[in-house]
Amino acid sequence: MDTAPELPYDQRPANRDLGHLQGEYGWPFVGKTLAMFQDPQSLFGHYYEKYGPVSRISITGNKCVLLLHPDHVQRVLMDREKNFSTKMGWQSVMADFFQGGLVMRDYDEHRLHRGIMQSSFKPPAMREYATKIQAIVETTVARWADQDSILFYEEMKRLLLDIAFDVFCWVEDSERTVPKINRAFTDMMEGALGIVRFDVPGFQYHRGLEGRRYLKAFFMDLVDKKRASDDQDVFAHFCREKTEDGEYYADEDIADHMVFLMLAAHDTTTSASTMAAYYLSNETALQDELAAEVRAWPDELSFETVFHSVNPLIGVFYETIRMHPPVPLLLRRTIRESEIGGVRVPADTMVCIPSNYIHRLPDWWNDPDSFDPSRFSEEVAEHRKHNFMWIPFGGGAHKCIGMHFARMLFLLTFRELIGKYRIEYVEDGYFPAKLQHFPFTRPLDGLPVRLVPR
Ligand code: HEM
């Protein structure tokens, strides 16, 4: 009897039969997605208490195995068995916007493509970016301080766009080009977050895809020019990078990676910075302590300070992204049947790791819902109890390539802010504000604050 050859794992439909696991799916179609948007901690807390570390849930249109234990996180992210596809995890939610990006590639192909980005994040390149970022941050923060008040979230987004065009892709004739690129980029980001996903004119999603197409064409057209230039932006580094065989990477791949990189870099850092400002504005004494600390730093920060040491300002960054990880869910899909925590997980099953609850697991974190940067100090180092209980940047082969960049950006921005000003809410009694949790956490009203000179 003839049997049809089995399809490759990336062409098979997802398994939706998880009836043998404990858990609940929720409403037809939407499952628990709305509950997750409203209050992710309560939702995942309920699953943890009722069903333990492995259960079934339906979110983002997928029936998933929900994992709530650092051991299981480690197993999936380290993926020693090559059984947890990152590409198939993200495919069902972000395929149109992430296409060609690093998370849409698995194993050997992923390793090869990660090579395109490697040199852009090495120390000499990072030093160049630091100088550029510092200059932009200084003028921008001074402009913020000139205003009676600012919406921190909106201003931070704009600052990061300015940085993106200077550091990621510097262009001549920027006055003419940058506004168009900004529009396309903003459309793409808004489209990627759209709930109604129709590629039909009039829909936000369609505008997003048009933005993506425009940006990709923009980068493709520039590859040869950048390759021949001695520009030191991230894009120019990508263009000049070569494969192990000494060949340049394909133009199309470079353009896809640029588009993905800009998406991956932007909202994540905007959310982290906004939430840090939100907590700091509530803690004047902590701001004063931090100000004393950063004012004692030399103008030119050492490599160690920027990238490695855990200083009190970095404690604030780490604690902010513990409480509100900018990538709140990590998604994977099994390739073969396997077993996690004693539970059988069939092939082609979506696996969901909610970092926003792993970071608050009551059995691992002390008083998990309170903002306490000192838990990251050398003396306490609570996150070191398990290598996979604090995973804002993921882990394993797909660990965030921009992690050091994000840290540098945070340090340079907040050194300027905290060292020279006190950040204050515009409204008395503002804290705790109403937060939006998805897709990125931020105060719903964009965080109105003023900067008061020290
Ligand atoms: C606070 C800021 C950031 C956070 C919390 C963050 C978080 C993450 C996480 C969790 C992943 C892994 C996704 C997965 O395993 O499925 C990731 C991947 C990635 N991030 Fe970030 N990110 C941040 C900033 C940045 C920045 C600034 C850049 C670029 C400069 C960047 C570029 C990337 C890229 C290219 C990947 C894909 C890596 C791969 O698949 O090999 N990220 N990020």
Summarize pLDDT for 280-306 with one digit per residue, the tens: 999 999 999 999 999 999 888 887 888
Output the CA 265–ligand 1 centroid distance in Å: 7
Q: Which atom of ligand 1 is nearest to the CA of 397?
A: 41
Output the CA 50–ligand 1 centroid distance in Å: 32
| Ligand 1 atom 24 nearest Cα | 265
Token reading at 123 = 């120390």
pLDDT: is 277 or 132 the higher one? 277
**pLDDT exceeds 50 at position 1:** no
Q: Which of 390, 150, 157, 122 is nearest to 272 (CA)?
A: 157
Rounded to an integer, what distance in angstroms lies between the CA atom of residue 90 and that of residue 94? 6
SS3 content of the chain, % helix, strand, coil (to 5): 55, 10, 35
CA atoms within 13 A on the CB side of 166: 16
Output the CA 402–ligand 1 centroid distance in Å: 6
Residue carrying structure tokens 């696991």: 21
Longest dimension (CA), the chain: 82
Q: Which residues of 322-352 are buried (b: 16+ CB within 10 A; e: fewer)?
A: bbbbbbbbbbbbbbeebebeebebebbbbbb
Per-residue model confidence (pLDDT) at position 196:
74
- A 10 A CB-CB count for 38 gives 12
Output the CA 283–ligand 1 centroid distance in Å: 29
In this prediction, residues 345-369 reach a mean pLDDT of 98
In this prediction, residues 58-66 reach a mean pLDDT of 93
Q: What is the pLDDT of residues 72-130, one digit of tens each?
A: 999 999 999 999 999 999 998 888 888 899 999 999 999 999 988 888 888 888 888 99
**pLDDT exceeds 70 at position 3:** no
Q: Which atom of ligand 1 is nearest to the CA of 117?
A: 35
Distance linking the first and last C-alpha atoms of the chain = 82
**pLDDT exceeds 90 at position 232:** no
**pLDDT exceeds 70 at position 5:** no
Q: Is 205 helix (H, G, I), strand (E, B) or coil?
A: helix
Rounded to an integer, what distance in angstroms lies between the CA atom of residue 450 and that of residue 454? 13
Residue carrying structure tokens 């896809």: 256
What's the CA angle centered on 36, arms 102 and 202, to 5 degrees? Answer: 65
Per-residue model confidence (pLDDT) at position 2:
46
**pLDDT exceeds 80 at position 175:** no
- Based on the number of CB atoms within 10 Å of its own CB, is 70 exposed (0-12), middle (13-18) or buried (19 or more)? buried
- Inter-axis angle of helices 107-118 and 251-281, to 10 degrees? 70
**pLDDT exceeds 80 at position 172:** no
Alpha helices in 79-197 (DSSP H): 86-98, 107-118, 123-146, 152-163, 174-192
**pLDDT exceeds 80 at position 192:** no
Q: Which atom of ligand 1 is nearest to the CA of 330?
A: 16
Output the CA 24–ligand 1 centroid distance in Å: 30
Residue 172 is classified by DSSP as S
Output the CA 159–ligand 1 centroid distance in Å: 19
Element housing 421 (H / E) = strand 421-425
Binding pocket residue ranges, ligand 1, CB within 6 Å: 86, 102-103, 114, 261, 264-265, 268-269, 272, 321, 325-327, 330, 392-394, 398, 400-402, 405-406
pLDDT confidence tier of residue 164, bands split at 50, 70 and 90: confident
Whole-number mean pLDDT of the chain?
A: 92
Per-residue model confidence (pLDDT) at position 116:
87
Per-residue model confidence (pLDDT) at position 122:
87
Sign of CA dihedral 404, 407, 409, 411: negative
Q: Which atom of ligand 1 is nearest to the CA of 261?
A: 35
**pLDDT exceeds 70 at position 174:** no
Output the CA 400–ligand 1 centroid distance in Å: 4
| Radius of gyration (C-alpha) of the chain in whole angstroms | 22
Per-residue model confidence (pLDDT) at position 137:
96
pLDDT confidence tier of residue 255, bands split at 50, 70 and 90: very high
| Ligand 1 atom 13 nearest Cα | 394
Amino acid at 48: Y
What's CA 324's distance to the chain center, in Å? 11
Output the CA 401–ligand 1 centroid distance in Å: 6
pLDDT confidence tier of residue 4, bands split at 50, 70 and 90: low
Per-residue model confidence (pLDDT) at position 293:
93
Q: Report the residue among 104, 331, 353, 400 best suited for mutation to probe ligand 1: largest number of ligand atoms under 8 A from its CB.
A: 400
Cβ-contact 153, 269 below 8 angstroms:
no
What's the CA angle centered on 227, arms 226 and 228, to 5 degrees? Answer: 90
Lowest mean pLDDT among 27-36, 37-46, 395-404: 27-36
Q: Which atom of ligand 1 is nearest to the CA of 332?
A: 16
Q: Is 340 helix (H, G, I), strand (E, B) or coil?
A: strand
Q: Which residues contact 289 (CB under 8 A, 6 or more apart)?
A: 312
- A 10 A CB-CB count for 214 gives 17
Q: What is the pLDDT of residues 305-337, one digit of tens each?
A: 887 788 999 999 999 999 999 999 999 999 999
Domains located in the chain, CATH noted: 9-453 (1.10.630.10)
- A 10 A CB-CB count for 276 gives 28
Cβ-contact 414, 279 below 8 angstroms:
no
Rounded to an integer, what distance in angstroms lies between the CA atom of residue 362 and that of residue 359? 9
Do β-strands 435-436 and 442-443 pair in parallel, antiparallel, or remain unpaired?
antiparallel
